[in-house]
Amino acid sequence: MPPKTKKDEQDRGEAANVTAFTAVLTAKLAESKSELLAEIKDTYARYEAKLTGLQNSVEDHDQRITSLEQFANSTSDELTDVPTELAAVASENAKLKARLIDLSGRTRRNNIRIVGLPEQIENQTRPTEFFSQLLCDVLGADILSSPPRLDRAHRAQPARLASTGRPRHVVICFHHFQTRELVVRAARQLRGGLKYKDTPIHIFEDYVPEVLEQRAQYRDVMERLFELGYKPALRYPAKLSVVLHDGSRKLLPTVKEAADFASRHRRRDDPEVPATPRLVPLGTGWKPV
């Protein structure tokens, strides 16, 4: 048997090292494989749980959509009737609103408003007594032979007048409707000539805000008709009556009809149209200028 050489010993050492390295590598690979398999299983389990949740959500949505479709099919007839029911409710609401405005207007039938009276002139005595005597002084004994009986008299308090510094309106409630009508007719005839101690004042009917808004829509066309020589007057609540040149009357129940009427007739500068003082709106009425 030949003797061992140094080269043989080196080969055996290297072989032992390779064997040891292979064993270590094999162990590391087995450990990494185990860790990788565990991570893959964990990731798969998490994704499986998410997919299960998504599947449950989809099934829940599918049930809800099916339920909504069934409800929509079962209530389609009822939904079709909704516009009709809404129209009926709107119509009923309009009727109730008109009735409310009418009732509110009836509570003011005995009222008038006086515009332009200085503030605090009534503070020295009872307002009803003061304004009762004031009406006699302003309108004269030919119209009111004695102070009328008043149920109430007070200052209105609109914010728009307080901000401008103008005196507040005076609201007066007569005990007798006939006396109120007498005062209103006299005020119409004397419009533009009523004064309290050299202070111009104006007397108007006391209308609810909704009626005032309706009547205010006629202001421009009424001014136009006055310029044309006609005599327009507003009937309650807001219908325009026009005295024609031949003395007959024409009723114009809407602003559009009144505007169309004014646009079809002659101008004031036509020599055949009699001259008429131009009126401009003031408060709740009109005055000549």
Tell me which amino acid residue 135 is.
L
Range of the domain at 143: 111-205
Find, among 210, 193, 191, the residue nearest to 285 by Cα: 191
Residue 252 within a domain:
yes
Long-range contacts, 245-251 (Cβ 8 Å, 24+): 245/273, 245/274
Find, among 160, 260, 280, 276, the residue nearest to 219 by Cα: 280
Residue 177 within a domain:
yes
Contacts for 258 with CB less than 8 Å, ≥ 6 apart: 218, 221, 222, 225, 232, 240, 242, 252
Looking at the fold, whether 139 and 175 belong to one and the same domain comes out as: yes
Looking at the fold, whether 125 and 197 belong to one and the same domain comes out as: yes
- Say if residue 108's pLDDT is above 70: yes
The model's pLDDT over 114-136, given as tens digits with 9 standing for 90+, comes to: 999 999 899 889 999 999 999 99
Task: Work out the mean pLDDT of the chain and round it to a whole number.
Answer: 84
Looking at the fold, whether 178 and 241 belong to one and the same domain comes out as: no
Looking at the fold, whether 224 and 248 belong to one and the same domain comes out as: yes
Model confidence at 3, in pLDDT bands (50, 70, 90)? low
Structurally, the chain folds into a number of domains equal to 2
What are the b/e assignments for 263-279, b being 16+ CB within 10 Å? eebeeeeeeebeeeeeb
Looking at the fold, whether 227 and 271 belong to one and the same domain comes out as: yes
Looking at the fold, whether 272 and 231 belong to one and the same domain comes out as: yes
Predicted pLDDT at 274: 45
The model's pLDDT over 131-174, given as tens digits with 9 standing for 90+, comes to: 999 999 999 999 999 999 999 999 987 656 656 778 999 999 99
CATH number, domain with residue 223: 3.30.250.20
Predicted pLDDT at 78: 67
The helix-helix angle for 76-106 and 209-216 (nearest 10°) equals 90
Beta bridge partners of 249: 243
Contacts for 283 with CB less than 8 Å, ≥ 6 apart: 113, 115, 169, 202, 204
Q: What is the pTM of this model?
A: 0.60
Looking at the fold, whether 229 and 247 belong to one and the same domain comes out as: yes
